[in-house]
Amino acid sequence: MTPVSAVRPYLTLLVARCRQETQYRAAALFGMATQLFWGLVRIAIFTAFLKAGANRSSMSLPQTVTYLWLVQGMIRAMPWSVDAEIRNLVREGTVVYELLRPIDLYFSWYMRAFARHAIPTIMRAIPLFVAAVLLFHMQMPPTVSAGALFVTGVVLALLLAAAISTLINISLLFTISGDGIQRILPAIANFASGLLIPLSFLPSALRRVLRILPFCSLIDTPARFYLGQIGTPEAASMFAQTLIWILALSWFGRFLILRASKRMVVQGG
Amino acid sequence: MTSQIEVNNLAKSFRVAKRTSGVFGALGSIFRREYQNRVALSNVSFAIEAGELVGYIGPNGAGKSTTVKILSGILVPDSGTVRALGMCPWKQRTQYVQRIGVVFGQRTQMWWDLPVIDSFHLLRDIYSVPDAQFRRRCGELTDQMNLGAFLNTPVRQLSLGERMRCDLAAALLHSPEVLFLDEPTIGLDAVSKLALRQLVKSLNVEHGVTVILTTHDMDDIEALCSRVIVIGDGEILSDGPLTELRNSIARERWLTVELEGDQMFSPPANTTIMRREGNQVWLRYDPVITPTPLLISAIAATNNVRDLLVQEPPIEEIIAHIYQNGQP
């Protein structure tokens, strides 16, 4: 089999999934409106704090505002929940068909997860950023290279989000309901990614720990690229760190899915 | 030459959590769980040659689906071996499933929101079917199964009969050598059932596809299968041609006698009356002890007969007999 024909099934699945995601245009529009509203609320809160003289971070007020808009745009890249369709597949046992296909189950689920994060993020973030830059004091990246680093950072963030999401979906093969992980994961991810509070505002000891974990690559790292806080040499090592996390989580997911398929029991006729 | 599918001493049991009912039972099971071992297959062996059409039947919970799942590579047995198409299904799963097709009557493998044809295109890429071959195959299947009218309808809007036909076509796009059908006619109306049977038959005869069919519908078996494997409690109870299965139970025949008017009827020697309704009498007899021509002439000589009908007992009776007694 040539490399091209080996990759083709996964590309097809990716494209099909992306096409399906682009159908939810109304959802994207209303989602964007919600994001815009919450963005303004959060900016009001942070502005109040910073103006009261509580700022001990390295971020100025305009930078904070920009960071908050980046968070609002990237919200759909967060691996918050299990894929409802995969959950139904597992509950109803239709997951057997996934195993009856001559493809690697991990990569086919990974493609699905990637589309599920990438398409809604792109559909919401771009119009939201345009609106925020024009109307609500969002800054442009200071340099072209900062912009380029940001785009690379977002691509890596989406790849990482897909790896985490796939891992959560795989956990369904063990727990079936996935309710537990759906409650605990957003709490951890929101805090550790910088979604709740920019990591620069946290105490430095805590910040150091959080910047080793994978979650900071979802939001905090790309946002710092955007703000031009990180130079290219430093960026390279951060990209490397993210890549290592992506590979490690994917390897772990693939290991789990192989184990699960050995002990999986699909009940009933 | 070895058989296309060889199954030796297959065994599989499942661990089922035992729960005590009530609040205390629920609380208790948090700390200590008891498990029960349920044997699904205890010692199953058979061999299937290329081009056979085999019925695999048994009561609910007998291990039919478990066997199909093991044979299609999605379940790993506790012990025993399977050699199918020269491979071990669960060890070489990805290569193996490329060459088999599976249809589960109660589930669909198509994408719920997509039009049927889009599902077919996805499957084409997943199974790496060359484009020319796909177009030819898809055309053939569309004609044979009459899918033309709803190829562009999303799967969720199809009726069950339409969906089953599409599912069967979907399982055949990559030209599998072996086809597993798990209760394919469940819930279908008479017309759809007949159409599906015809399709399966022609696949088997014209394309030489080996078919393994599990079902509860004995008409499926009578219409299609040259060979029947009966399984019960995880063991094979009987394996052979349908006629052999019939004969092994009882060489019984049924005779329906319609009398002129409501007259007395006394059964000839070695026959039993099963029931009587008005002027109709149902008799059961053994054709070896009482040859049918002799029985008929004896009845015609002593009674005023309007009509006679000789039948074999329905296959359901035979199967029910095996299920209940554990063996033929």
Report DSSP letters for B108-159, one per residue. --S-TTSBHHHHHHHHHHHTT--HHHHHHHHHHHHHHHT-GGGTTSBGGGS-
How do beta strands B5-18 and B79-84 pair? Answer: antiparallel
Average pLDDT of chain A, as a whole number: 84
A198 against B60, higher pLDDT = A198
Pure H helices in chain B: 22-31, 64-71, 93-97, 116-126, 131-145, 160-172, 190-207, 218-224, 242-249, 292-302, 315-325
Residues of B in contact with A10 (CB under 8 A): none
Q: Which residues between 256 and 295 in chain B have a beta carbon less than 8 angstroms from any beta carbon of chain A?
A: none
d(CA A110, CA A107): 5
Q: Is B69 on the interface with A (CB under 8 A)?
A: yes
d(CA A160, CA A168): 13
- pLDDT category at A152 given cuts 50, 70, 90 is very high
For B91-108, what is the mean pLDDT? 86
- Secondary structure (3-state) at B269: coil
Q: Is the pLDDT of residue A269 over 50?
A: no
- Secondary structure (3-state) at B302: helix
Q: Looking at residue A245, what is its pLDDT?
A: 94
Average pLDDT of chain B, as a whole number: 83
Give residue-wise pLDDT tens across range A31-53: 888 888 898 999 888 888 888 87
Q: Is the pLDDT of residue B316 over 80?
A: no
Q: Is A29 on the interface with B (CB under 8 A)?
A: no
**Residue pairs spanning A and B at CB distance below 8 A:** 78
Contact at CB, A92 and B113, closer than 8 angstroms: no
As given in the structure block, the two tokens for residue B224 are: 């299609």
Q: Is A96 on the interface with B (CB under 8 A)?
A: yes
d(CA B231, CA B315): 15
Q: Looking at residue B33, what is its pLDDT?
A: 64
Task: Tell me chain A's radius of gyration from C-alpha atoms.
Answer: 20
For A245-257, what is the mean pLDDT? 92
Contact at CB, A102 and B127, closer than 8 angstroms: yes
- pLDDT category at B308 given cuts 50, 70, 90 is confident
Q: Looking at residue B198, what is its pLDDT?
A: 87
For B97-122, what is the mean pLDDT? 86
Q: Is the pLDDT of residue B21 over 50?
A: yes
Contact at CB, A100 and B97, closer than 8 angstroms: yes
In a mutagenesis test of the B interface, which of A96, A109, A112, A257 is the best target, namely the one with the most B β-carbons within 10 Å?
A96
Query: Domain B5-247: which topology?
Result: Rossmann fold (3.40.50)
As given in the structure block, the two tokens for residue B195 are: 């159409």
What is the interface pTM, i.e. ipTM, of the complex?
Answer: 0.72
For B67-71, what is the mean pLDDT? 88
Of B74, B76, B122, the CB nearest to A12: B122
Please answer whether residues B88 and B22 qualify as being in contact, where contact means their C-beta atoms are separated by less than 8 angstroms: no
Q: Is the pLDDT of residue B279 over 90?
A: no
Residues of B in contact with A262 (CB under 8 A): 76, 90
Amino acid at B116: V
As given in the structure block, the two tokens for residue A269 are: 């006729």
Distance from CA of A174 to the nearest CA of B (A): 15
Contact at CB, A96 and B104, closer than 8 angstroms: yes
Q: Of A54-63, A124-133, A242-251, B223-232, which gets the smallest average pLDDT?
A: A54-63
Q: Looking at residue B27, what is its pLDDT?
A: 63
**CA end-to-end span of chain B:** 31
- pLDDT category at A78 given cuts 50, 70, 90 is confident
d(CA A227, CA A138): 11
Residues of B in contact with A99 (CB under 8 A): 73-74, 93, 97
Q: Which residues between 104 and 123 in chain A have a beta carbon less than 8 angstroms from any beta carbon of chain B?
A: 104
HEC states along chain A?
CCHHHHHHHHHHHHHHHHHHHCCCHHHHHHHHHHHHHHHHHHHHHHHHHHHCCCCCCCCCHHHHHHHHHHHHHHHHHCCCCCCHHHHHHHHHCCHHHHHCCCCCHHHHHHHHHHHHHHHHHHHHHHHHHHHHHHHCCCCCCCCHHHHHHHHHHHHHHHHHHHHHHHHHHHHHHHHCCCHHHHHHHHHHHHHHCCCCCCHHHCCHHHHHHHCCCHHHHCCHHHHHHHCCCCCHHHHHHHHHHHHHHHHHHHHHHHHHHHHHHHHCCCCCC
| CA contacts within 13 A on the Cβ side of B105 | 21
For B256-280, what is the mean pLDDT? 82
Angle at B173 between CA B167 and CA B174, to 5 degrees: 130
Residue given tokens 């055309």 in the structure block: B139
Q: Looking at residue B159, what is its pLDDT?
A: 86
Give residue-wise pLDDT tens across range B170-179: 998 988 999 9
Residues of B in contact with A14 (CB under 8 A): none
What percent of chain B is predicted at pLDDT more than 90? 5
Contact at CB, A92 and B107, closer than 8 angstroms: yes
Residues 6+ apart with CB under 8 A from A251: none
For A155-176, what is the mean pLDDT? 88
Q: Is the pLDDT of residue A205 over 70?
A: yes
Closest CA to B222 of B55, B61, B71: B55
Q: Looking at residue A4, what is its pLDDT?
A: 64
> Could you say which DSSP state residue B219 is in?
H
In sequence order, the β-bridge partners of residue B84 are B5, B87
- pLDDT category at B250 given cuts 50, 70, 90 is low
**C-alpha distance from residue B57 to each of A17, B71, B233 (Å):** 39, 15, 12
As given in the structure block, the two tokens for residue B183 are: 């209760």
For A18-24, what is the mean pLDDT? 80
Residues of B in contact with A93 (CB under 8 A): 107
Q: Looking at residue B289, what is its pLDDT?
A: 83
d(CA A20, CA A27): 13
Give residue-wise pLDDT tens across range B155-190: 888 888 888 888 889 998 988 999 999 888 888 888
- pLDDT category at B292 given cuts 50, 70, 90 is confident
Residues of A in contact with B97 (CB under 8 A): 99-102
Please answer whether residues A152 and A104 qualify as being in contact, where contact means their C-beta atoms are separated by less than 8 angstroms: no
Q: Of A97-111, A180-194, B257-271, B308-322, which gets the smallest average pLDDT?
A: B308-322
Please answer whether residues A224 and A242 qualify as being in contact, where contact means their C-beta atoms are separated by less than 8 angstroms: no
Say what angle helices B242-249 and B315-325 make with each other, to 10 degrees.
60
- pLDDT category at A241 given cuts 50, 70, 90 is very high
d(CA B147, CA B117): 10
Contact at CB, B126 and A5, closer than 8 angstroms: no
Distance from CA of residue B110 to its chain's centroid? 22
What percent of chain A is predicted at pLDDT more than 70? 94
Strands in B79-84's sheet, in edge-to-edge order, are B34-48, B5-18, B79-84
In a mutagenesis test of the A interface, which of B93, B166, B186 is the best target, namely the one with the most A β-carbons within 10 Å?
B93
Q: Is B106 on the interface with A (CB under 8 A)?
A: yes
d(CA B193, CA B179): 17
d(CA A122, CA A24): 12
What percent of chain A is predicted at pLDDT more than 90? 18
Q: Is the pLDDT of residue A184 over 80?
A: yes
A231 against B85, higher pLDDT = B85
Amino acid at B242: L
A251 against A49, higher pLDDT = A251
**CA end-to-end span of chain A:** 36
Q: Looking at residue A154, what is its pLDDT?
A: 94
Name all contacts of B290-295 with Cβ < 8 Å and 24+ positions apart. Answer: B292/B253, B292/B255, B295/B255, B295/B268, B295/B271
- pLDDT category at A252 given cuts 50, 70, 90 is very high
Of B64, B102, B125, the CB nearest to A9: B125
A269 against B85, higher pLDDT = B85
| Residue ranges covered by each domain of chain A | 3-263
As given in the structure block, the two tokens for residue B118 are: 């889009």
Q: Looking at residue B179, what is its pLDDT?
A: 92
Nearest residue in B to A264, CA atom: B75
Q: Is the pLDDT of residue A264 over 80?
A: no
**C-alpha distance from residue A113 to each of A172, B23, B319 (Å):** 14, 39, 48
Q: Looking at residue B239, what is its pLDDT?
A: 86
Angle at B104 between CA B103 and CA B110, to 5 degrees: 70
- pLDDT category at A54 given cuts 50, 70, 90 is low
**C-alpha distance from residue B69 to each of B41, B44, B179 (Å):** 12, 14, 12
Nearest residue in A to B104, CA atom: A269
